[in-house]
């Protein structure tokens, strides 16, 4: 059981051993044989301005409440960081709603509330997404109806004035070649200097998307001629669709793909569509601008902090605007 969610041994092995089994780190703290704390680091390769680096995603930072308040968590985390250095991890990053312990005790850079969630209401009524239920108030159903009416207007305006049929593009279910994503990001780096993003080679995609034990993804790849111009990964759970990654080279292609995606979700009777990203990043900001035109609204209760510690990377990682963060960067059990 982790964060009130039951996980099997297969889940844990997938998360920490599925991509780089010799680089993962998972520290368990015990007291008289009883587990009282855990700290994991999932190995993820990032592309930093055209160079590939092995990094660690901080996860499962858990400590029995009876052991909190002292130095126990810091000592456990220090051991984890030592193991990361031994495995060649150049930096560690993650998400948290806390900030003081990461900044003051663990000496991470903390970027507050830069990762935000936006939602589109496709159908009113019914169940809210699980992550919203725990924070719901009596006003939420009213807000859902208002957001639905707003989205209807925005969608009608968006489709009627901006998106037309195009004969020069085709949307497919998978990439044509392994290098298509790499080529797309190469062009994006020319447009957005300093870009830091997940290196999506075949090994990563097979682990995170194709063979994910919990999530079945739908994938879209928009081609113009031989060039991959935009793509989207999403999944639907309990009528809530999570757009894990939506990336486009230009807004025209993005608008065409987004219309296609929303059309498919409407046919599947998805009630909500959720998207998260680092709102300070210029590429994310451009995509969010497109999403807002369609009726996406920010969900303030779902924002979170991004934390980072550079261990040995010779690149400057401190400018959070460089980090192209979306749902693909999460643990992989919801997004």
Model confidence pLDDT, tens digit, residues 256-312: 999 999 999 999 999 999 999 999 999 999 999 999 999 999 998 999 999 999 999
Q: Which residues contact 32 (CB under 8 A, 6 or more apart)?
A: none
9-113 and 115-303 in the same fold = yes
CA angle, 138 then 112 then 312, to 5°: 145
Residue 198 reports pLDDT greater than 50: yes
Read off the pLDDT of each residue in 58-78 and give the average, rounded to a whole number.
Answer: 91
Confidence of residue 1 (pLDDT cuts 50, 70, 90): very low
The 8 Å CB, 24+ separation contacts for 212-218 are: 212/14, 212/332, 213/10, 213/11, 213/14, 214/11, 214/332, 214/333, 215/332, 215/333, 215/334, 215/335, 217/244, 218/264
Residue 196 reports pLDDT greater than 90: yes
Longest Cα–Cα distance of the chain, Å, equals: 68
Architecture of domain 9-113: 3-Layer(aba) Sandwich (3.40)
Judge whether 44 and 198 are in contact, CB under 8 Å: yes
Give the separation between CA 229 and CA 252, rounded to whole angstroms: 10
Confidence of residue 18 (pLDDT cuts 50, 70, 90): confident
Q: Which residues contact 224 (CB under 8 A, 6 or more apart)?
A: 168, 169, 253
Confidence of residue 158 (pLDDT cuts 50, 70, 90): confident
For the domain made up of 115-303, the CATH class stated in words is alpha beta
272-278 and 240-248 strand pairing = parallel
Counted residue by residue, the chain has a size of 335
Residue 163 reports pLDDT greater than 70: no
> What residue ranges do the domains of the chain occupy?
9-113, 115-303
């Amino acid at each position: 059981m982790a964060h009130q969610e039951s996980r099997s041994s297969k889940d844990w092995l997938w998360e920490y051993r599925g991509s780089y089994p010799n680089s993962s780190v998972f520290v368990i703290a015990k007291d008289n044989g009883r587990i009282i704390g855990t700290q994991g680091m999932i190995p993820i390769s990032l592309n930093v301005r055209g160079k590939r680096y092995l990094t660690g995603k901080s996860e499962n930072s858990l400590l029995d409440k009876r052991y909190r308040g002292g130095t126990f968590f810091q000592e456990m985390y220090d051991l984890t960081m030592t193991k990361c250095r031994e495995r060649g991890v150049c930096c560690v990053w993650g998400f948290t709603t806390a900030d003081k312990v990461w900044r003051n005790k663990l000496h991470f850079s903390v970027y507050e509330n830069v990762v935000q969630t936006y939602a589109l209401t496709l159908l009113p009524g019914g169940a809210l997404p699980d992550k919203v239920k725990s924070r719901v108030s009596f006003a939420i159903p009213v807000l859902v109806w208002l957001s639905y009416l707003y989205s209807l207007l925005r969608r009608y305006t968006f489709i009627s004035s901006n998106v037309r049929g195009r004969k020069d593009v085709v949307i497919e279910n998978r990439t044509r070649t392994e290098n298509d994503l790499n080529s797309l990001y190469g062009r994006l780096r020319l447009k957005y200097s300093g870009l830091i993003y997940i290196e999506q080679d075949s090994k990563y995609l097979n682990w995170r998307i194709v063979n994910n034990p919990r999530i079945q993804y739908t994938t879209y790849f928009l081609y113009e001629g031989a060039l991959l111009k935009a793509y989207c990964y999403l999944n639907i759970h309990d009528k809530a669709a999570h757009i894990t990654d939506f990336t486009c080279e230009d807004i025209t292609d993005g608008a065409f793909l987004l219309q296609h995606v929303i059309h498919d979700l409407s046919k599947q009777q998805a009630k909500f569509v959720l998207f998260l990203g680092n709102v300070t990043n210029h590429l994310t900001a451009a995509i969010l601008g497109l999403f807002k035109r369609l009726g996406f609204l920010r969900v303030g209760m779902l924002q979170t902090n991004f934390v980072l510690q550079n261990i040995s990377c010779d690149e400057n990682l401190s400018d959070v605007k460089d980090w192209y963060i979306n749902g693909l960067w999460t643990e992989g059990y919801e997004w």
